[in-house]
């Protein structure tokens, strides 16, 4: 096989891999089960979490006006992205208070928990290098 043929095969393989990855990512990230025309704000305490790829999940207990608790399962970024943002499992185990701006589920069923796709997360007690809350 000539150098030119090897290079052509390599470029073709890389191009197909990039295309397949892009198509898969777009199909996966269309948020079809969430209402992306509406934002809700979820304020509560992190009671559990699952750091995984492609989406991590925070389980958040929200205290309602009548003192009942509604549990929310909120999809977030990948485990790698969360670690890069400075969130650690040690911090999440402290059950921090969080305010989340999210897209609600298109389904109104909240069993076993309500679902949302988080867009912005602000954790009490977590600050960036400039002292701003994250």
pTM: 0.71
Both 26 and 56 in one domain: the answer is no
Beta strands in the chain (DSSP E): 40-50, 57-63, 69-75, 97-104, 114-123
pLDDT at 52: 87
Both 21 and 75 in one domain: the answer is no
pLDDT at 1: 61
Query: Does 52 reside within a domain?
Result: yes
Query: Does 129 reside within a domain?
Result: no
Nearest CA to 83 among 74, 91, 94?
A: 91
| Count of domains observed in the chain | 2
Judge contact between 131 and 103, C-beta under 8 A: no
Q: Which residues contact 127 (CB under 8 A, 6 or more apart)?
A: 133, 134
Q: Look up the CATH number of the domain holding residue 61.
A: 2.40.50.730
pLDDT at 93: 93
Q: For residue 77, what are the domain limits?
A: 40-123
pLDDT at 67: 96
Query: Does 132 reside within a domain?
Result: no
Flag residues of the chain having pLDDT under 50. Answer: 5-28, 129-131, 133-134
Judge contact between 81 and 54, C-beta under 8 A: no
């Amino acid at each position: 096989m000539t150098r030119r043929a090897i290079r052509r095969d390599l470029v073709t393989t890389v191009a197909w891999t990039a295309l397949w990855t892009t198509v898969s990512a777009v199909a996966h990230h269309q948020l079809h089960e969430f209402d992306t025309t509406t934002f809700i704000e979820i304020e509560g305490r992190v009671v559990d979490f699952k750091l995984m790829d492609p989406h991590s999940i925070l389980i958040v207990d929200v205290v309602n006006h009548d003192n009942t608790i509604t549990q929310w399962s909120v999809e977030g970024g990948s485990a790698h992205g969360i670690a890069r943002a400075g969130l650690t499992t040690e911090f999440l185990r402290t059950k921090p208070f969080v305010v989340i701006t999210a897209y609600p589920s298109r389904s109104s069923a909240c069993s076993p928990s309500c679902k949302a796709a988080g867009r912005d997360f602000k954790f009490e007690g977590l600050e960036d290098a400039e002292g701003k809350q994250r």
